């Protein structure tokens, strides 16, 4: 989906494109879940209702950033033709966001056998150390093995293509990194707030001016650590970006039905959706 009516990169000799690829948009069990009761929830004959676990891939000023690695990460990369990751950011250490990280090994290889820079919160880094202790290395042990150079996510991460600002968001017993990407060359900006129960004042401030806002919208009924579709819709309206997307949905959320009920500038994301502007 190309976005209309957003600031173009006019006047620049080099035109960059900010691109977001929704690799997965499903909640922690995926959609459908294992042994899903027949006839309950969304219409599985609609491909947009098939949801792998949530992550996005971002190209910003030519720099490729992967945010989270779902259990389906390898298949997501193959299906969407990903062949470059320069930086990895883990929003938090929950299984649905971290378990695909071993497959980052291929990108260490593609980057000339170097360790991949990995940024996360203290909670996220501790979980990586627990699950992938063999990969905390300066270089892969053997060609083809993973190696992660762990770094604490700063408030503002400076990358070759732009900056990523981070803010803590409430997610049950833990906090999640909310991320705001700003492309250096063009000023294009988007916000990625997945897995959160609310978006506080500080988070709204750093997200201000975003062209695109992506929010956690789990399901219609309340949940202790995620926003409902209704809460996410209200938050999106208050944040008032030109366009917003909801992600991390359960099988209770039917794409076409829910999409038809949302305000014009708020949409449900789906696996494989590409947003560029
Ligand atoms: Zn999650
Ligand atoms: Zn989570």
pLDDT tens digit sequence for 110-135: 999 999 999 999 999 999 999 999 99
Both ends of the chain: CA-CA distance in Å?
Answer: 9
Q: Is residue 155 included in any domain, yes or no?
A: yes
CA 192 to ligand 1 centroid distance, Å: 13
Q: Is residue 206 included in any domain, yes or no?
A: yes
Residue 39: the pLDDT is 87
> Predicted confidence band at 10 (pLDDT cuts at 50, 70, 90)?
very low
Can you tell me whether residue 260 is helix, strand or coil?
helix
Looking at 143-212, list the stretches that DSSP marks H as alpha helix, in order from N- to C-terminal side: 201-207
Ligand nearest to the CA of 70: 1
Ligand nearest to the CA of 248: 1
Whether the pLDDT of residue 15 is over 90: the answer is no
Number of domains in the chain: 1
CATH code, domain with 226:
3.60.15.10
Residue 14: the pLDDT is 55
Ligand nearest to the CA of 27: 1
Cβ–Cβ under 8 Å, residues 162 and 109: no
Q: Is residue 37 included in any domain, yes or no?
A: no
Q: Is residue 1 included in any domain, yes or no?
A: no
Report pLDDT digits (tens) over 54-64.
Answer: 999 999 999 99
In 3D, which of 274, 200, 194, 277 has the Cα closest to residue 239? Answer: 200
Q: No. of H helices and E strands in the chain? A: 7, 14
CA 184 to ligand 1 centroid distance, Å: 29
CA 10 to ligand 2 centroid distance, Å: 39
Q: Is residue 116 included in any domain, yes or no?
A: yes
Torsion angle, CA of 192/183/19/124, rounded to 10 degrees?
A: -40
Structure tokens at 13: 């000799």
CA 93 to ligand 2 centroid distance, Å: 7
Q: Is residue 41 included in any domain, yes or no?
A: no
CA 228 to ligand 2 centroid distance, Å: 14
Average pLDDT score, the chain: 95
Structural domain range at position 187: 18-25+50-276
CA 270 to ligand 1 centroid distance, Å: 15
CA 12 to ligand 1 centroid distance, Å: 38
Ligand nearest to the CA of 71: 1
CA distance to 66, 231, 268, 277, per residue, from 61 (Å): 14, 33, 26, 12
CA 14 to ligand 2 centroid distance, Å: 38
**How confident is the model over 4-32, as a mean pLDDT?**
76
Q: Is residue 207 included in any domain, yes or no?
A: yes
CA 237 to ligand 2 centroid distance, Å: 23
CA 195 to ligand 1 centroid distance, Å: 5
Q: Please give the DSSP secondary-structure letter assigned to residue 136.
A: -
**How confident is the model over 76-94, as a mean pLDDT?**
98
CA 171 to ligand 2 centroid distance, Å: 7
pTM of the predicted model as reported, rounded to 2 decimal places: 0.94
Q: Is residue 5 included in any domain, yes or no?
A: no
Ligand nearest to the CA of 52: 1
CA 102 to ligand 1 centroid distance, Å: 18
In 3D, which of 78, 27, 13, 19 has the Cα closest to residue 55? Answer: 27
Q: How far apart are CA 90 and CA 70, in angstroms?
A: 10
CA 257 to ligand 1 centroid distance, Å: 23
CA 92 to ligand 2 centroid distance, Å: 7
CA 74 to ligand 2 centroid distance, Å: 20
Ligand nearest to the CA of 170: 2
**How confident is the model over 27-47, as a mean pLDDT?**
95
């Amino acid at each position: 989906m190309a976005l209309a009516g957003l600031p173009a990169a006019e006047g620049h000799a080099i035109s960059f494109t900010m691109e977001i690829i929704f690799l997965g948009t499903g909640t922690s069990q995926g959609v459908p879940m294992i042994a899903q009761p027949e006839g309950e929830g969304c219409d599985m004959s609609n491909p947009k209702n098939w949801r792998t676990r949530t992550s996005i891939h971002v190209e910003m000023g030519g720099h490729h950033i992967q945010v989270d690695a779902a259990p389906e990460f390898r298949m997501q990369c193959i299906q969407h033709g990903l062949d470059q990751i320069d930086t990895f950011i883990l929003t938090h250490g929950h299984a649905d966001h971290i378990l695909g990280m071993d497959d980052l090994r291929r990108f260490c290889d593609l980057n000339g056998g170097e360790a991949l820079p990995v940024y996360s919160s203290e909670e996220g880094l501790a979980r990586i150390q627990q699950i992938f202790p063999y990969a905390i290395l300066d270089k892969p042990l053997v060609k083809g093995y993973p190696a992660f150079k762990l770094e604490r996510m700063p408030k503002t991460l400076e990358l070759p293509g732009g900056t990523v600002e981070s803010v803590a968001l409430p997610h049950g017993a833990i906090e999640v990194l909310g991320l705001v990407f700003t492309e250096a060359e063009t000023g294009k900006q988007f916000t990625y707030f997945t897995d959160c129960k609310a978006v506080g004042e500080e988070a709204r401030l750093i997200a201000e001016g975003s062209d695109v806002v992506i929010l956690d919208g789990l399901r219609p009924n309340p949940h202790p650590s995620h926003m409902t579709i209704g809460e996410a819709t209200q938050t999106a309206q208050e944040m008032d970006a030109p366009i917003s997307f909801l992600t991390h949905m359960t099988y209770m959320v039917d794409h076409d039905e829910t999409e038809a009920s949302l305000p014009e500038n708020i949409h449900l994301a789906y696996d494989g959706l590409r947003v560029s502007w």
